[in-house]
Each structure stands twice: as C-alpha cells, then as structure tokens.
Structure 1
C-alpha cells in the first residue's frame, strides 16, 4: 500500500496541472456562495452554502479524472503493472484524492461562511459540507473506475446530483416521491446546509450524509470489482 501511495504521488507531481486546476475551480465555486451575502434571508447559512452545489461538480470531475483519465491515455497499464493488487491502487487514489479535496473544501466552505456569526448549526453545516464534498469526490472515483470513460462517468455522477431531483418531482405519488427523495445523494446538499426549520425536511442532515456515504461505498465497490474482472483495455 505504501508503494502504491508513493507511485500515485509521483504521478500527481509529474502529471499536467489539470487535476489541480479542477480542484481550485471547486474551491472557487464553493466559495461563490459568499458573494450572495446573508442579508435578511430566512436561512443565511443555506444561502451562503449554495456554492457547494456548484463546487460538487468540479470535485466529482476531479475524482473521475484521477482514474478514468488513465484509461484514456493508456497509463492505467503501467499503474497496474506497478501495483498488481488493484484494490491497493484504488485505495491509494482514494487516499490522495481525499487529501486533495479536504483543503479545497475547507477553503471554499470557510470563505463562504466566514462572515456569519458562529453557532452550533453553522459549524455542523460547514463540517458536513466539507465531508459531503470529499464523499462526492470519492463517488466520482468509484464511478470512473467502473465506467472507465471520463465523459460517461462525469455524466452519470452529474445526473445523480442534478438530474435525479428533477425526475423525482415528476412522480405523482407524494409518498413515493418523499421516500425516494430520501435515498438520492442529491438530497444531502440541501439538507446539510439547512439550519432553520430542519424538522420539515424529509431526512435529517446526518442521515442524508449517510446516504451519500452509502452511494460512495457502493460506487467504489463496483469500481474494485471492475478493476479485478476486466483488463486494463477499455
């Protein structure tokens, strides 16, 4: 595992700056909520954290790019020769991705809520937003490992995050709509930022984050299965 981490770190240091640019874009988009200001909004925390909805797209793309990009260039063959244990390879990528997304998420979320008065709900929403962005990056990594194509993998993740809530609104039965809404990863981005009238939400903030974690674990499991079952050729 140590060798796998070292190899991934060397690749990140010598690779083009695309991943770094994507993560910096994520920080900027996440911090963009600060430009909206708090004002007299009913829930100023939720308003300031609207940028997380934008930043998550760049974070997901970074996760996808970390492995699907290697399939596009053929570098995956060298990676698998250097690290025959494919689970170790994906774990190393997940570790470095987490290490990269964490400061980006802290920076973006921190800027977004910097001028708000400190409170327990604010700290909870900020901490969950940071964890959410890390999970979305890992979700992108899992989908990228499973699908192997950057464009297709990004499309799948963005559909989960942006398109699924729209599709759920078309379900005529409100009970089914509410039940399915609790199971979508896109639910969390709104729920975790809510600090006013949280009892009216279909699911609590921490359970919503748990749903995202479950989707992420599932995607990574499929990614590991795909890495073991298929060759390095797309």
Structure 2
C-alpha cells in the first residue's frame, strides 16, 4: 500500500515579510554607510560645537538644538536611505522578485516602512542620547549648560530622533510613489526643504502659520525644549508629522495597487 505525502502550500505571513525586509535592509551597503554617516557626523559635530562654543549676548539657540546641530546633516542621510529602500529597489529591478513573492503588494510597503522606521529611530535615539552628554562635557559653565534631567531636555533629545525618523518614512513613501531615485531626491529637496523656505517670503501671516505644519518645521518643534510663541507645541508637531507620514504612505499604497510593477 503506497502512501502519498502531502506538501503544505507556501503561506505568506506578516512575520515572514518583515523578516525578509529586515534582511534586505541590512544586506544593503548603503544602509551601513548612511546610518554610519548620520551617527558619526552628529556625534563629531556635536563635540566640535561644544568644544568651540563661547557665550555671546543675544544668542537665542537652545542647548538641544546646538548640541544636535549635526542631525540636520544626518536627516539628509536618513532621507537618502529611505529613498534607496523603495525607489532604489525599482532602479535595480529587485522589486519584480519582491512583488512576485508577495502578490498582494501592500504588505511589502507596510513592512518596509515599519522596518526602516524602527531601525532609523533606534539608531537616532542612541546617537542623540550619546551626543548631547558629550557636547555638554564642553558646555559646562556656559549659558548652554544643561542636563538630561532638566525640564524638557530629554523629551527634546528624543523628539529630535522621532522627527528625523518620521521624515525618513515620508521620503520612503515618496520613493515608492515616484519609483525614481533622482525624482524622489528632487521631490525631497524641492518639496520638503526649498518650498517652505521660499514660502516664508510671502507677506501673509496665514501662510507663515501654515508653514509650521510642514514636515521640517513640525520636526523642529519636537526638538525644542521650550517652544517659542507662534511655534507648534511638541504634541501638535508630532500629530502633524504623523498625518504627513500616514498620507504619504496612503498615496504610495494607492499607486502601488493601481500600477503594474
């Protein structure tokens, strides 16, 4: 009597897709380069700024913004990595294999954004909470002397990391929607960086108030220990960034379902 062995059909799972995207992210050379640049530049610049700072009357910069000034460069590295995670996969053609393995498509986008956002946030939190105390080693006795235990400081240090990670997720979604590395870089520079700066030239108070809700100003509000009058509160800034990220991912998901690979 012969027996037939039944083979269980291959079944996709959210855990398996997440594991696959985790593996793909860490096997990219650009991941190590961009995350390394974001961390090293933030730490090194923070120490250099701390070592060279001299108190000056009229300075309005806060200790967190000053110590973490390198995050502005790090944010570019995180954004570029977000672009490579999505648009870069279209450039290499690997997306065809990915979508063949996951025909429903959308779980791939959710997994990419979750893995990327988690990794970026973890690296940025460690970097920021390392950089601030190192910078403060040189800032003791100046008007920028502060500690993580002071009101609003730890929240602002963490908020800087959260804001940068969410900017990265927004750019990742742009990469998925545009499917072009140069095109997404152009959209990031033009739409997120240059457009708000150009709009400040419009002599209209309503426009200037609305600009606070754009991604970069909203992210800056998260890194402020004591928001200035007219600026967004950290809570509102986080909500604005969350809405931008959700809207960007929703648009990317819509286009992903509508297009051919």
TM-score normalised to the size of structure 1?
0.89
Q: Once the two structures are superposed, what CA deviation does each residue of 1:98-149 show, in whole Å capped at 9, x if it has no partner?
A: 2321232023212331134221311110111111122112111110110000
Task: Tell me the equivalent position of 1:69.
Answer: 88
Task: Tell me the equivalent position of 2:220.
Answer: 190
**Residue from 18, 22, 29 that aligns with 2:41:** 29
Mapping for residues 75-154 of structure 1, pairs under 5 Å: 75-114=94-133, 115=136, 116-118=146-148, 119-154=150-185
For 1:120, what is the secondary structure of its paired residue? coil
The alpha-carbon distance between structure 1 residues 106 and 81, as it changes in their structure 2 partners (threshold 3 A), is same
- Does residue 11 of the first structure (1) align with residue 11 of the second (2)? no
The Cα shift of 1:39 comes to 4.8
**Residue from 187, 199, 202 that aligns with 1:156:** 187
Does the CA contact (< 8 Å) of 1:145 and 1:223 recur in 2?
yes
Cα RMSD over matched residues? 1.9
Task: Tell me the equivalent position of 2:140.
Answer: none
Of 77-86 and 3-12, deviating more is: 3-12
**Residue from 163, 166, 176 that aligns with 2:206:** 176
| Higher helix proportion (structure 1 or 2) | 1
The Cα shift of 1:153 comes to 0.9
CA distance in 1, matches of 2:163, 2:47: 18
The alpha-carbon distance between structure 1 residues 49 and 95, as it changes in their structure 2 partners (threshold 3 A), is same
**Residue from 237, 242, 245 that aligns with 1:213:** 242
Segments ≥4 residues shifted beyond 3 Å: 38-42
Task: Kindly name which structure, 1 or 2, has the bigger radius of gyration based on alpha carbons.
Answer: 2
- Does residue 2 of the first structure (1) align with residue 15 of the second (2)? yes
CA distance in 1, matches of 2:25, 2:221: 34
Does the CA contact (< 8 Å) of 2:65 and 2:224 recur in 1?
yes
The alpha-carbon distance between structure 1 residues 159 and 222, as it changes in their structure 2 partners (threshold 3 A), is same
Does the CA contact (< 8 Å) of 2:164 and 2:219 recur in 1?
no
Of 141-150 and 40-49, deviating more is: 40-49
Does the CA contact (< 8 Å) of 1:178 and 1:202 recur in 2?
no
The Cα shift of 1:4 comes to 1.1
Does the CA contact (< 8 Å) of 1:34 and 1:111 recur in 2?
no
Unaligned runs of 5+ in 1: none
